[in-house]
Amino acid sequence: MRNKLIYTLIFSCILLFTACYEQARDCETFKNGVFESQVIIDNVVYKSKFKRVNNLQVETYETITDSASVRWINPCEFILSTIKPRNKSEEKPVHIKILTTSEDAYTFEFNYVGETLKQTGVAKKIN
């Protein structure tokens, strides 16, 4: 009986400390700079390079360069809107949320505004 009480107490303490743990996010570090990102969709890896300065982001994927306005919702979330969309899908704004950060990279999730399907990716600051 006593061993059961000790195990229950230890388990409760572990649960208490792990339930309160939250990954630190330093999103301000990633508001501006040059980045490389990687996203995997349907087992295909998509890599791009982009530069974000204040409220503008210029991204190059393969040979295509796009510019988007950046509207920050809070320090870790923003909306990207293509400045000169070439088709209907580019007209849809993209919501990006920074989930975790490290010294030179962040993990993010993104989706078209109004849609529920979310994807994740990683961006690494290269300057």
Q: Give the pLDDT of residue 1.
A: 52
Nearest to 110 by CA among 62, 38, 61: 38
Higher pLDDT, 107 or 5: 107
Q: What is the pLDDT of residues 6-48, one digit of tens each?
A: 444 454 444 445 445 556 789 999 999 999 999 988 889 999 9
Which residue(s) pair with 82 in the sheet? Answer: 68
Q: What is the pLDDT of residues 44-94, one digit of tens each?
A: 999 999 999 989 999 999 999 999 999 999 999 999 999 999 998 889 999
The one-letter amino acid at 65: T
Asked if 49 and 62 count as a contact pair (C-beta separation under 8 A), the reply is: no
**Tokens read off for 58:** 């210029």
How far is Cα of residue 102 from the mean position of the Cα atoms in its chain? 12
Q: Give the torsion through C-alpha atoms of 90, 87, 48, 34, to 10 deg.
A: -60
Q: Give the pLDDT of residue 9.
A: 42
Q: Report the CATH architecture of 24-125.
A: Beta Barrel (2.40)
Phi-psi group of 125: left, alpha or beta (phi > 0 → left; psi -120 to 50 → alpha; rest → beta) = beta
Q: pTM here?
A: 0.79
